[in-house]
Structure 1
Amino acid sequence: MALPSVLVLPVLIVMAAGVYYIYNEVIQFMSMTLVRNKVVVISDAVSGVGTELAHVFHKGGARLVLCGTTWDKLESLYDSLTNDADPRETFAPKLVILDFSDVDSMEDVVAEVVECYGYVDVLICNSSMKLKAPVQNISLEVDRNIMDINYFGPSTLTKGILPTMISRRSGNIVLVNSIQGKLAIPFRSSYAASKHAAQAFFDCLRAEVEEYGITVSTISHTFINASEPPPAVEGEPAPSRWQDILAAYIAKQLTHGVRPSVLANEIMLTVNRKRKEVVLAHPIPRVALYLRSLVPSFLFAVLAAGVKDAVLSDELQ
C-alpha cells in the first residue's frame, strides 16, 4: 500500500534521522576502540571540558596523563575515574601539576610528562584564560598572563613533547582554541589576541611536521556553557510542524552555546579521524567569519554599533 504523498516527507525525515543516529553511534564506538593503549596528555584536566575529556578517553582505554594546577582537583578526578573502572579494560591515570602561568617551570613539566610513559601519542592543549574588559582597562601584566596561559604555555609544552613524536614519526597534537582565534570581538582584546597567536602557531606547526606523520588539529568553538539546560515549561505545547521544530532547535543552539560533553566527543572524533581543522560554531558566528573575509567593512560597522548599544545600555542602568 503506497503512502499518501503528504506523509512522504515526514517519513523520509524520520528515516534520515534514524540513519544519522545509527551512524553517529557506530562512529562513537569505533572512536573508543581507536584510542585504546594510546598515551593521551590533557593540559587542563580539571576544567569542565578537561574532565569530560578525561572520562571519554579513560573509558576508551587510553593511558592518560592528566595535568592541572591543583593537586586536590587532580586527585578527585583520579578517584572518579578509577573507583568504578575495570582495571582489565582501563589504565590508572598519571597526574602532573602544570601551570602555564609559570612558563619557567615548563622544562621540568615536560620532562615529567614524557617520563610517565616515555612518549606521547596525543597531546590536547585545552588550557585557557578568559577576560572581558575595555582595552584601556587592561594592564600589561594581565596581557602577559593571558598570553602565557593561552599561547606561550601551549606552544612551549608542544615544543617539549614534539621530539618524541618526531622520533616515532607519529602523533596527534590538538589545540582546543576558540572562534575568537579567527574572529575578534570587542572587549576581548587580550583574549582574542592570544587565541589568534595560538591559531597561527599551530597552523605553521601543522605544515612543518606533516612529513613526520604528525597530525595537528585545531578546534575553534563558541562559548562553553556548562550550565544545565532550562527545564521545559509545563503546559507549553510542543512544536508540531517540522519548520517550528527546526527553528526551535536553532534557537536553542544559539542560546546554550557548546556543552562540555559535546566538545569532548568532538575532540575524540577529531583525534581519530585526524581532522586538521574543526569549527564548532552555530550559524551566526559562521556567517560572521564569512563577512570578515568577504565584506569586512560591514562586519566592522556591525561590531561598532554593538559596542555603542552596550555602552548606552550601561549608562541607562
Structure 2
Amino acid sequence: MIQKVSCYYISARRCLHGAGENYKEVRGFPGVWPPAASGKIDCALLPAPRLRPGLCDRFSIFRSRLKSNQNMIAQEMDSTWTTTVLLVPCVVLLTAGFFHLYGVIMGLLSKKSVRNKVVVITDALSGLGKECAGVFHKGGARLILCGKNWEKLEELADDLANSSDPTVTFPPKLVLLDFGDTDSMPEAIAEILDCYGCLDIIIFNSSMKVKAPAQTVSLEVDKLLMDNNYFGPVTLAKGVLASMISRRSGHLLLVNSIQGRLAVPFRSTYAASKHAVQAFFDCLRAEVEEYGISVSTISHNFISCSASGAPATSKSLWSLLYTKKPLGVSPDEAAAEIVKTLNNKRKEVVIAPSLPKMAIYARSFFPNVFFAVIGAGVKNASIAAEM
C-alpha cells in the first residue's frame, strides 16, 4: 500500500511540474498530504496550487538566461572551430618549415664535419663510390680513392677536380686495391697509410654478387665471394686498426647488404659472406669502443641508378626483397645516409622499403611463417620457369 501511495505521490508531482523551482514551493495542497492509503489522486481534479507572488517571473528570467547561455556556448563553439581550422594549416606549415631548416642546417654541418678529414673509399668506381667521392670532395675531405682500374681512377679524379673549386678542396689520392687478391692487400694497406700518415674514416663499399642454386656454385666461386665480401674488408680493417688505436680516433663504416641480416634463396654464398662480415664488424664495434673508434653498418636492399621504374611482375615476398625497381635505393640517397650516419655515429642503419624491414622482424619473431612464405615463393618461381 505504501508503494502505491508513493506512485500516486510521484504522479501528482509530475502533474505539478512547472509550477515552481522545486517541489517545496508547489506542495501546498488543501487537505491532508499525502492522501489516504486507499485514495487515488486524479491529476485532472487537483486544485490549483497556491504560488508565491513573482514565481512566474522568476521562471521567465530563468528560461531567458538559459537560452542566452546556450547561445553563448554555440558562439564559443563556432569561434573554437574557426580557430582550429585556421590554426591547423599554420601548424603544418611551421612544422614543414622547421624540418626543412633542420635539413639545411644538417647539410651545412655535414660538409664541415668532413673538412680536412682523411676519408678512404673502397670500390670508388661503383655508382655509390662515385657519389660518395663527390660529396666528400666538395665537403673538403682528403680523399683516398681505391679501385681495381687505374685509368678509371684517374678519370674519376679529373672529374672531381674539374667540378670543384681547387682552393677549398684537396686533390684525391689514388690506390689500386683488389679485395679478391689477398696477396696484394698488405702492400695496398701500407700505401693507404703512407698517403697522409693517418686515417679518420674508412667506407667499406666493395661487394661481389652471385645468384644461382647452391648446388651449381663451385667452390672456387665461393672462395672468390668470400675474399671480396669478407676477407678483403676484414684484412683492411685489421691493417688500419693499429693506426686508429694509437690516435684513439677513427670511424669504420661498412656498406653491407640487407642479406647480412636476412637470407633469401639462390644467394646462399652471397648471403653467407654478408652475414660473416656483418658479424665481424658487430664484434669489432664492442672491442674498439674503448679506444674512441666508432663502427657503423649500413644495410641496403639494392642500390640502383634510379629508384623508379616498372613494377616487378613477381609479387612473392622473397622476390620483392631484391627487386631492383622500384624498391631500389639511389646512390645519392645512400650517400646522404652515409654522411648522416657518420655525423650521428649511429651503429646500425637499414636502408630499405617497409617490406624488407618487416621481413627482418618476421624472421626473428615468426620464423615458421617467414620460411613458409619463402618456400612458397621458390615453388612459384619454379612453376613460372617451367611454363
Hey, what does 2:301 align to over in structure 1?
A: 222
Match of 2:152 among 73, 83, 87: 73
Structural mapping, 1:129-140, within 5 Å: 129-140=208-219
| Shift, 1:41, TM fit | 0.2
The CA deviation at 1:229 is: 3.6
State the partner residue of 1:100: 179
Say which of 261, 284, 287 aligns to 1:182: 261
- Partner residue, 1:258: 329
State yes or no: 1:273 paired with 2:344. yes
Q: Which residue of 2 aligns with 1:290?
A: 361
- Distance change >3 Å, CA 26–CA 142, structure 1 → 2: same
On the 8 A contact 1:67/1:98 being kept in 2, the answer is: yes
TM-score, length basis structure 1: 0.89
Comparing 194-203 with 267-276, greater Cα deviation is found at 267-276
Q: Which moved more, 1:17-26 or 1:180-189?
A: 17-26
SS class of match (1:100): coil
Q: Is the 8 A contact 2:210 2:270 kept in 1?
A: yes
**Number of residue-to-residue matches in the alignment:** 295
Correspondence for 1:142: 221
- 1:58 paired to 2:129: no
**Which of these two proteins has the greater Rg computed from alpha carbons?**
2
Residues 1:121 and 2:226 are matched in the alignment: no
Q: Select which of 168, 172, 183 maps to 1:89.
A: 168
Query: What secondary structure sits across from 1:255 in the alignment?
Result: coil
In 2, the alpha carbon distance for the partners of 1:65 and 1:160 equals 16
Cα RMSD over matched residues? 1.9
Write out per-residue CA displacement over residues 126-162 of structure 1, whole angstroms, 9 at most, x where no aligned residue. 0001111111111111111011001000000010011
Q: Does 1:312 align with 2:383?
A: yes
Q: In the aligned structure 2, how far is the partner of 1:192 from the partner of 1:14?
A: 45
Given that 2:307 and 2:327 are in contact with CA atoms closer than 8 Å, whether structure 1 keeps it comes out as: no
* Alpha-carbon contact 2:309-2:326 (below 8 Å) kept: no
How much identity, in percent, do the aligned residues show?
Answer: 58
Q: Which range moves more in the overlay, 153-162 or 129-138?
A: 129-138
Contact 2:278 / 2:297 at 8 angstroms: preserved in 1? yes
Q: Output the CA distance in 2 between the equivalents of 1:290 and 1:228.
A: 24
> In the alignment, what sits opposite 2:371?
300
Which sections of structure 1, spanning at least 5 residues, go unmatched? 232-252
Deviations 1:196-245 (A, max 9, x none): 000000001000000100000000111112137459xxxxxxxxxxxxxx
Say if 1:136 and 1:87 are closer, same or farther in 2 by CA, change over 3 A. same
Structure 1 consecutive aligned stretches of length 4 or more whose deviation exceeds 3 Å? 1-15, 227-231
Structure 2 CA distance for partners of 1:197 and 1:134, relative to 1, 3 Å: same
Pick one of 160, 163, 169 that aligns with 2:248.
169
| Distance in 1, Cα, partners of 2:378 & 2:308 | 28
